[in-house]
Amino acid sequence: MSKIILITGAAKGIGRGIVEELVKDENNIIVINYNTSKIQAEQMMQKYKTRVDIYKADVSKRNEVKEMINYIINKFGKIDVLINNAGISCEKLFQDTTDEEWNKVINTNLYSVFCLCQEVFPSMLNRKNGCIINISSVYGTNGGSFAVAYSASKAGVDGITKALAKELGPSGIRVNSIAPGYINTDMNNNLTSEDMEEVKKMLQIKKIGEAIDIAKCVKWLIDDEYTTGQIIRIDGGWNI
């Protein structure tokens, strides 16, 4: 029986890498959520045909999240796996961060997780089975200079992960978080080659991670039946 997987922010970066790994399993049907990356989402649908579906929604808005979940349930009858991957950053000095910037980061990175988990929960509860994977960040535990809003949002995601794992575990729903370190995606395009070399010096493995490194962990968490409430760092040994 097909496993229905919803991945938010899945047209680029880590989300795209997760799609490309999970679509290898012919039992998976993946719904790619996107907001502004329409071209990339359509390209993936053309590539994978009936193996994927795409849906435009701003996950920071409850009404759009609700409409997306209703669309998926009406079309496929269920959602087996929710991967909360959508996220944005804001690299600014703390004192220069505006209310608008703070709210945009918190709403996109944290409030969206709250909304999506609430809207998906009934489908999983009815079957006493489900898997929720939140893509967090090492900044959720370490914090990051010039990234207070982003760090706060990811710390909140980790808090949701641990609390929901306790609350939903008796209903057969597993909730985990993956906390990537530096990954080679568009989000880090602002780093110069010199910056990247400095980053590598902090890592025990001495190289920048790739989206596939996160995707492999996602696949394992979907297949595993006993892991819940964990914050799994995939960061090349940063900050051991």
Residue 11 Cα distances to 19, 36, 153, 170, angstroms: 9, 9, 21, 33
Active-site residue, 150 included:
yes
CA 225 from chain centre, in angstroms, equals 20
Distance CA 221, CA 190 (A): 31
Q: How many CA atoms lie less than 13 Å away from 225 in the CB half-sphere? A: 3
Among all chains, which residue has been given the structure tokens 């880590």? 14
Nearest to 111 by CA among 72, 65, 68, 73: 65
Q: Please report how the helices 148-168 and 99-106 are oriented relative to each other, as an axis angle in degrees rounded to 10.
A: 30
User: Of 55, 150, 182, 226, which residue is the catalytic one?
Assistant: 150
Q: Which residues are catalytic?
A: 150
